[in-house]
Amino acid sequence: MTGFDFAAWPPTLTEAQLEELSVYATTYALSHGLLYLPPAPSLPKVPTAAIHAPLALFPSPLPRKLFEQATRLQRIYNVLYSRVALDDEFLDQVMGVETGVGKVDDFIGQLWRGWKALRDEGIDQSLHLGIFRSDYLLHSPNGETPELKQVEFNTISSSFGPLSQRVSELHRYLLSTTGYFNTSPYLSLENLPPNQTISGVAAGLAAAHSAYSASTSNARILVVAQDNERNVFDQRWLEYELLNKHSIRMIRRTLTQLQKVAKVDSTTRKLFIDVPKDLEASGSIEISVIYFRAAYTPHDFPTPAYYATRFLLERSTAIKCPSLALQLAGGKKVQEVLTQAGVLERFLADGKKYHEVFSKEEIQELRDSFMAMWGLDVGDDLLTPDGQAIQAGKENFGVRKAREEAQVLVLKPQREGGGNNVYKQDIPAFLDTLPPQERQAWIAMQLIVTPADVGNYLIRAGSTTGSSDIQAPVRTNVISELGIFGWSIFGKEGGHSHVKEDTMGWLVRTKGTDSNEGGVATGFSVLDSLLLVD
């Protein structure tokens, strides 16, 4: 049992101390680019205002040995998902339209069909870039010693790396400036780990750029952004780092814009973006790397033309982050299948297939980070080929088990971005309405039980108390989620996969215990940092 008392966090503050910390925190955030664009029906092309990102006043406690474990595991996860993305047969089986999720999930099916069509043409990716984030919660049922358990693994638009660095710097600043008024002996600089996510993510993008453009000095990295993107500063910090440290320029375009300006040379398959000649004398820009911060939700594809644009980008020789294969590898169904017997060994222990293999102990440590999960389609031999029950009213094993254990479960579809899951008491009614033929698109996962009564002070821009213009922090019980960032450049050569990877930086997102979902961009969480405890 850890010696730290989670239920005693955070320290008690007087009203004057709370106000002082709030002023220091919000002005630091506004001064150091810890920012969002304000909500609006339609954002102006030239921004004229910004608000600070939602944030926590105190760093959140995490056992030091579990932080070290999460950092250690990231290397294995980087390699694992790189190899999954290179295994066409596996992805076809799990995510395709014949036997996999794409058969019942139209969005996944569209992505898989586009990927399959390109493969049938003989177009394959020589190199892939993954910028990953593995997300974890502390699991402490009945007050037991906390364990590290994975929530999910992100292979597309793994966001908040730069802002996570800024908020960790903010907490170090508050400690240096106020000492947090000596409210806790745990609040010391040696317990606030450094966080270099900006340079780490930029290094991955720069490595991919260098791999592409050994003979091309003018190529740039393309950021594919969402329309009306408010989280632009998280992305801009990478642009500044790439320019200042690597002399690499970025450009930003949405899928809407790319429909008109993206061109792939029919001979070289190089990707060019048309720009006005008064901005670029040649009238076009060659692209080395495509960094997707969009294209992970059906809402990003309102018409078939958007899918066509996405597949046009995939056709090019630019290195995709992620490729369609790697995006599909990040599906929740893949996460569930990886928990099944022998599947990790297929990707991590096959010495005939891979130059590097992992020990039984390393694989077991990775497996120990999984929660129990299963597909709702388990036992669908009770169904006819058209998805109808052989015996009226008879449920398969996966659905029946989910119904019986609903109070300790979450149901997840193949979606990213938050707000898509079904929890606890809502599960039985959802199962009543779920058509049998759609079961394959959902997994059931045992809920992670986090330490009880952990608190923090949360600040969101615009919250005020009475006539005061000081933003009011809200003290509430919270759940904090740790994300570890990594990157990987990988491909196939001579029949073997090759992976160059690195682990860099981390993210903490904290939310009130009354919220099931956890996205910062969707308004559920605030940005936070780590306090390492023993």
What is the CATH classification number for the domain harbouring 163?
3.30.470.20
Please report the pLDDT score of residue 469 as a whole number.
45
What CA–CA distance (Å, rounded) separates 12 from 476? 12
What CA–CA distance (Å, rounded) separates 276 from 160? 32
Structural domain span for residue 156: 6-82+96-193+331-371+448-533
The reply to whether 478 falls in a domain is: yes
Question: Are 387 and 103 contacting, i.e. CB atoms less than 8 angstroms apart?
Answer: no
The answer to whether the annotation marks 294 as part of a ligand binding site is: yes
Instruction: From the candidates 152, 169, 362, 365, give the one annotated as an active-site residue.
Output: 152
The reply to whether 414 falls in a domain is: no
The answer to whether the annotation marks 231 as part of a ligand binding site is: yes
**For the chain, what percent of residues have pLDDT higher than 90?**
83
State the DSSP H helix or E strand holding residue 491, giving kind and residue range, or none if neither. Answer: strand 474-493
The answer to whether the annotation marks 191 as part of a ligand binding site is: no
The reply to whether 223 falls in a domain is: no
Instruction: From the candidates 116, 253, 332, 333, give the one annotated as an active-site residue.
Output: 332
Residue 154 known to be catalytic: yes
The answer to whether the annotation marks 285 as part of a ligand binding site is: no
State the DSSP H helix or E strand holding residue 380, giving kind and residue range, or none if neither. Answer: none
State the DSSP H helix or E strand holding residue 263, giving kind and residue range, or none if neither. Answer: strand 262-264
The answer to whether the annotation marks 416 as part of a ligand binding site is: yes
What CA–CA distance (Å, rounded) separates 502 from 486? 6
What is the mean pLDDT of the segment spanning 122-149?
96
Residue-averaged pLDDT of the chain: 92
Angle of the 360-368 helix axis to the 64-85 helix axis, nearest 10: 100
User: pLDDT tier at 216 (50, 70, 90 boundaries)?
Assistant: low
The answer to whether the annotation marks 230 as part of a ligand binding site is: yes
Question: Are 95 and 116 contacting, i.e. CB atoms less than 8 angstroms apart?
Answer: no
Residue 332 known to be catalytic: yes
Instruction: From the candidates 379, 417, 512, 523, give the one annotated as an active-site residue.
Output: 417
Instruction: From the candidates 134, 154, 213, 323, give the one annotated as an active-site residue.
Output: 154
What CA–CA distance (Å, rounded) separates 348 from 214? 31
Instruction: From the candidates 103, 116, 133, 439, give the one annotated as an active-site residue.
Output: 133
The answer to whether the annotation marks 364 as part of a ligand binding site is: no
Q: Give first-to-last CA distance, the chain, whole Å.
A: 10
Residue 330 known to be catalytic: no
Count of all residues that appear for the chain in the document: 534
The reply to whether 285 falls in a domain is: no
Residue 417 known to be catalytic: yes
State the DSSP H helix or E strand holding residue 187, giving kind and residue range, or none if neither. Answer: none
The answer to whether the annotation marks 93 as part of a ligand binding site is: no
What is the mean pLDDT of the segment spanning 199-210?
97
The reply to whether 457 falls in a domain is: yes
Residue 346 known to be catalytic: no
What CA–CA distance (Å, rounded) separates 349 from 341? 13
Please report the pLDDT score of residue 2 as a whole number.
56
The answer to whether the annotation marks 117 as part of a ligand binding site is: no
Instruction: From the candidates 241, 336, 395, 416, give the one annotated as an active-site residue.
Output: 416
What CA–CA distance (Å, rounded) separates 54 from 520? 8
Structure letter (DSSP) for residue 227? T
**Residue whose pair of structure tokens reads 């290094």 in the numeric block:** 203
The answer to whether the annotation marks 472 as part of a ligand binding site is: no
| Measured CA distances, 509 to 75, 94, 133, 163 (Å) | 22, 30, 13, 11
What CA–CA distance (Å, rounded) separates 534 from 145? 12
Residue 204 known to be catalytic: no
The reply to whether 423 falls in a domain is: no
Dihedral angle over CA of 166, 168, 174, 176, nearest 10: -110
The reply to whether 460 falls in a domain is: yes
Instruction: From the candidates 288, 456, 509, 525, give the one annotated as an active-site residue.
Output: 509
pLDDT, tens digit (0-9, with 9 covering 90-100), for 395-422: 789 999 999 999 999 999 998 766 789 9
Please report the pLDDT score of residue 496 as a whole number.
74
Q: What's the number of domains the chain is made of?
A: 1
The reply to whether 183 falls in a domain is: yes
Residue 412 known to be catalytic: yes
What is the mean pLDDT of the segment spanning 26-45?
92
**Residue whose pair of structure tokens reads 């998280």 in the numeric block:** 234
Please report the pLDDT score of residue 466 as a whole number.
42
**Residue closest to 473 by CA, chosen among 18, 2, 12:** 18
Question: Are 135 and 152 contacting, i.e. CB atoms less than 8 angstroms apart?
Answer: yes
The answer to whether the annotation marks 517 as part of a ligand binding site is: yes
User: pLDDT tier at 154 (50, 70, 90 boundaries)?
Assistant: very high
Please report the pLDDT score of residue 1 as a whole number.
43
Please report the pLDDT score of residue 508 as a whole number.
98
Structure letter (DSSP) for residue 376? T
